[in-house]
Amino acid sequence: MYDVFATDRLIDHWLVEDIGACDLTVQVMIEPEETGKFHMNAREPMIVAGVEVAARVFKRYDPDLKVTLRVKDGDKVEKGAILVEIEGSARSVLTAERTALNIAQRLSGIANETARYAAAMAGSKARLIDTRKTTPGLRMMEKHAVTCGGGLNHRLGLDNGVMIKDNHIAVCGSITAAVERARKKLPVLTKLEVECDRLEQVEEAAKAGADVIMLDNMSVADMTKAVELIAGRAKVEASGGINIDTIGPISRTGVDYISTSKITQSAPAVDIGLDEA
């Protein structure tokens, strides 16, 4: 799920950011030999994501801590559920607490928001996918959280596929010319997607042989027409201006995928706490 080495580098950065030279509060209040047992608890119903990373935060700070996962990413839990048990040095647990909670709250929030958007599409064939609009440094974790909530991942990075947008088209002169140019060097198993904001572009992209056609900021009526024009020649993605109120009608236009940054950029963090057992 996570690249261990990349995750550890991130955790080290987070801990340095939060702790600085030392946790002054525990240094002046908690004796080195004092121990305790603590629980990370769900303070609201949620879909869990990031608990493995949160658990690793504690172990990264103090390998001697005993850390036990009580749930796994993707689990749906009720208020009061114990997510992680931590036992050992009270100083260590209290110092690493905020960093561990922050990442679990953020990722579980994305999983929850993804599930909310997916539920609004229920009954349609469309699948919800994310975008590259993620927090710098946290992309793989946030995209993992999307899958925990029932969504799919779009490109993980610029090297994962070719997406021809308006500026690419402007440089090449036309959609047809842009697709032809890309096809000459495109790896044989790599998908090619073309972004269209007008129906005449949709027809040109389909004729040019695009694998996926993105309908960018089109009306529901135009999306319906676009799906009819494409007639199965390419997969169809709807994007641009998607929100919880519009995603239902858009999902019923016949598109295959709906992408939105709302599930990552705008997801509210959930409430997770750390309490002494």
Q: Which residues are catalytic?
A: 98, 133, 165, 195, 216
Q: Where are the beta strands (DSSP E) in the chain?
A: 35-42, 46-47, 66-69, 76-77, 82-89, 127-129, 162-164, 192-196, 212-216, 235-239, 257-259, 272-276
CB 77 within 8 A of CB 48: yes
Long-range (24+ apart) CB contacts under 8 A made by 6-14 are 6/140, 7/53, 7/56, 8/56, 8/60, 10/137, 10/138, 11/53, 11/56, 11/57, 11/60, 11/99, 12/60, 13/137, 14/57, 14/99, 14/102, 14/103
- Alpha-carbon span 38 to 87, nearest angstrom: 6
Most distant pair of Cα atoms in the chain: their distance: 72
Is residue 71 packed enough to be buried (19+ CB in 10 Å), middle (13-18) or exposed (0-12)?
middle
Is residue 107 packed enough to be buried (19+ CB in 10 Å), middle (13-18) or exposed (0-12)?
buried
